[in-house]
Structure 1
């Protein structure tokens, strides 16, 4: 019985460790803005789940449409060889068990300039580069960059690098190439931990995720604690009854204990 209880406990712990790893939808190239006829590849990344993931999207042409309806499968990816403005919308991964990944929102435009920026939230402390792209050559032109409507700086090649991303870098960015045009705003989101004055601070967004995880996993944690308690209380073998009579002549009396039911008499132990 003890081994059975241990096996059940291990299975429960294993299910808890492996059931909280949602997939992440990624894009190549990583950008929220694309020109018409660009090639875009979507993937569902998950190293811990055996569940099958299906890429879906919501656009003006339909909702919850699978890859087979708008792209082609290449290994574990879904590829659109030549995007059009009608491909603009929300994309995400969904498992056969009902789980869902993060979602990404892309825009396909006929405008002459776009801003290529990471479509997924960036971890604080990482390095990233924003690229101001033109639809026609020459491509590496001088560009002005703006954040939340405020001018930041001008770069000669249209590339602006942020070496150590922090929460203060979060916001809406856009770029302008003189004589070509201005891009639409692209949002940059920052998550993770920041170090300020030698103290590691937890970002509010990450704190919220931790709280949600604790609330969701609470029933499973309580179940685990209850099963551990049962395993500890369950005896490994049936204890022999205590005899209130003397053993038969000739038998070894060592180790026997006699309980006197009279409260006025001290309990006697024979050795």
Structure 2
């Protein structure tokens, strides 16, 4: 998603409850607050009805850096993010509101490689925790569960994709995008820094030396005396 304004990404919007799919008429809270940060954060969104609209102006109820939507409608489906008065912003998250009977509860923010992620298939029609469900990734069946839960262990980039679930007799959930973020180990980051810093330093030294040579060459050209011929006209 391309934000409507240019900003520096420094924070993450927090969604409570932490999932990307909601039933119609549910309540969701989005929080932009960063502890100790005096900047004034505000939640904004892009939906079919609102483009780059701020919370409490055309939708939601604002309380400081938080935004509350009491009754979700399908028209609230869209992209949400945070912005501050200092030109900072958060990553964007996608929220889907369905009028159907089944949702897939999955993390709304990217998960890190190596994490374990639990997907939960939930039905509005029943409160039973033991619901047999089928789970799909990019349209392909990846597993069945008698409890309605499916855990992906040690996730990697290959696990990134669109997920949905189906409960027999209840229905199918919308698709949700599961993003997996690669995390470089500290040792790798340190090694890269140890390699890149000397290379950058050498490049800067070489550039400085070239500039110095050019300056000296230019100076010598300006100060070089002009030689005139001393031969008199008509002399042999």
TM-score when normalising by structure 1? 0.61
- Are the equivalent residues in 2 in contact too, given 1:133–1:139 (CA < 8 A)? no
Structure 2: how far apart are the matches of 1:24 and 1:107? 18
Residue 77 (str. 1) matches residue 100 (str. 2): no
Structure 2: how far apart are the matches of 1:74 and 1:81? 13
Unaligned runs of 5+ in 2: 1-7, 205-236
How big is the alpha-carbon RMSD for the aligned residues of Structure 1 and Structure 2?
Answer: 2.8
- Cα offset for 1:48? 6.5
**Secondary structure, aligned partner of 1:51:** coil
- Cα offset for 1:138? 3.8
- Please identify, of 106-115 and 161-170, the stretch whose mean Cα deviation from structure 2 is larger: 161-170
- Are the equivalent residues in 1 in contact too, given 2:42–2:65 (CA < 8 A)? no
C-alpha distance 21-60 of structure 1, shift in aligned 2 (>3 A): closer
Structure 2: how far apart are the matches of 1:169 and 1:48? 36
Structure 2: how far apart are the matches of 1:66 and 1:52? 13
Structure 2: how far apart are the matches of 1:71 and 1:29? 16
The residue aligned with 2:123 is 134
**Secondary structure, aligned partner of 2:26:** coil
Residues 200-219 of structure 1 deviation map (CA, whole Å, 9 limit, x = unaligned)? 889xxxx9xx9xxx9xxx9x
Residue 150 (str. 1) matches residue 140 (str. 2): yes
The residue aligned with 2:172 is 182
- Cα offset for 1:189? 0.7
- Cα offset for 1:47? 4.1
C-alpha distance 49-192 of structure 1, shift in aligned 2 (>3 A): farther
Residue 116 (str. 1) matches residue 105 (str. 2): yes
- Cα offset for 1:51? 2.0
TM-score when normalising by structure 2? 0.69
The residue aligned with 2:151 is 161
Residues 55-80 of structure 1 deviation map (CA, whole Å, 9 limit, x = unaligned)? 11122222222221322234542111
The residue aligned with 1:57 is 45
Which structure's CA Rg is the greater one?
1
Structure 1: how far apart are the matches of 2:53 and 2:103? 26
The residue aligned with 2:56 is 68
Unaligned runs of 5+ in 1: 1-19, 223-271
Equivalent pairs counted in the alignment come to: 184
Structure 2: how far apart are the matches of 1:138 and 1:51? 42
C-alpha distance 21-101 of structure 1, shift in aligned 2 (>3 A): closer
- Are the equivalent residues in 2 in contact too, given 1:33–1:114 (CA < 8 A)? yes
